A and B are shown apart, each in its own frame.
Chain A
Amino acid sequence: MAKIVVVTSGKGGVGKTTTSASFATGLALKGFKTVVIDFDVGLRNLDLVMGCERRVVYDFINVIHNEANLNQALIKDKQCENLYVLAASQTRDKDALTQEGVGRVLTELANMGFEYIVCDSPAGIETGALMAMHYADEALVVTNPEVSSVRDSDRILGMLGSKTQRAIDGKEPVKEHLLITRYNPNRVEEGQMLSLEDIHDILRIELIGVIPESEIVLQASNEGLPAIHKDGSDVSEAYKDLVDRFLGHERPLRFVEAVKPGFFKRLFGGR
Chain B
Amino acid sequence: MSSAAPGLTAHLFEVKSAQLPLVTLLLKSTHLNEVANELQQRYGNNPDFFAGDPLLIDLCVLRDSEESVEWSFLLPLLRRYHLMPVAVKGGNPKQMQSALQAGLAQADEATYIRADAAGQTYAQAAPAPEPELLPALIVDKPLRSGQQVYARGRDLVVLAMVNPGAEVIADGHIHVFAPLRGKAIAGARGYTDARIFAASLEAELISIAGVYRTSDKPLPANVQGRPAQVRLQAGPDGEKLVLEPIN
Q: Does residue B145 face the partner (Cβ distance < 8 Å to A)?
A: yes
Number of contacting residues on A, CB 8 A?
12
Number of A-B contacts (CB under 8 A): 31
- Stretch of A73-81, A105-113, A149-157, A233-241 on the interface side: A149-157
Contact in complex: A151, B145 (CB < 8 Å): yes
Dominant secondary structure at the B interface: loop
B164 touches which one: A154, A157, A161 (CB < 8 A)? A154
Q: Complex formed: what's the CA distance from A202 to B141 in Å?
A: 14
Quick one: which of A125, A159, A204 contacts B161, CB cutoff 8 A?
A204
Interface residues of B, CB < 8 Å — how many? 13
Say whether B189 faces chain A, with CB atoms less than 8 Å apart: no
Contacts of A162 in B (CB 8 A): 147
CA distance A157 to B160 in the complex (A): 14
A262 at the B interface (CB under 8 A): no
- CB pair B141–A154 under 8 Å, yes or no, is no
Q: Which residues of B contact A154 (CB under 8 A)?
A: 144-145, 163-165
Question: In the complex the two chains form, is A204's CB within 8 Å of B142's CB?
Answer: yes
Q: Is B146's beta carbon under 8 Å from chain A?
A: yes
Contacts of B161 in A (CB 8 A): 204
Cβ contact of B163, chosen from A125, A159, A202, cutoff 8 A: A202
Q: Mark B24-39, 1 if CB is under 8 A from A, else 0.
A: 0000000000000000
State A110–B111 Cα separation when bound (angstroms): 66
- Per-residue interface assignment for chain B, residues 96 to 126, with 1 indicating a CB less than 8 Å from any chain A CB and 0 otherwise: 0000000000000000000000000000000
The answer for the CA separation of A105 and B206 in the assembled complex, in Å, is: 47
Residues of A within 8 A of B165 (CB): 151, 154-155
CB within 8 Å of A: which B163-218 residues: 163-166, 181
A269 within 8 A of B: no
A270 within 8 A of B: no
Bound complex: CA A234 to CA B177 (Å): 41
Is A191 located at the chain interface by the 8 A CB criterion? Answer: no
The answer to whether A252 has its CB under 8 Å from any CB of chain B is no
Cβ contacts under 8 Å, A158 to chain B:
143-147, 166
Cβ distance A7 to chain B, nearest Cβ, rounded Å: 19
Q: How far is the CA of A152 from the CA of B142 in the complex (A)?
A: 15
Closest to B143 in A: A158
Instruction: Return 19 A-B CB contacts under 8 Å, by A number.
Output: A125-B146, A151-B165, A152-B145, A154-B144, A154-B145, A154-B163, A154-B165, A155-B144, A157-B142, A158-B143, A158-B144, A158-B145, A158-B147, A159-B146, A161-B141, A162-B147, A202-B164, A202-B181, A204-B142
Q: Which residues of B contact A (CB under 8 A)?
A: 141-147, 161, 163-166, 181
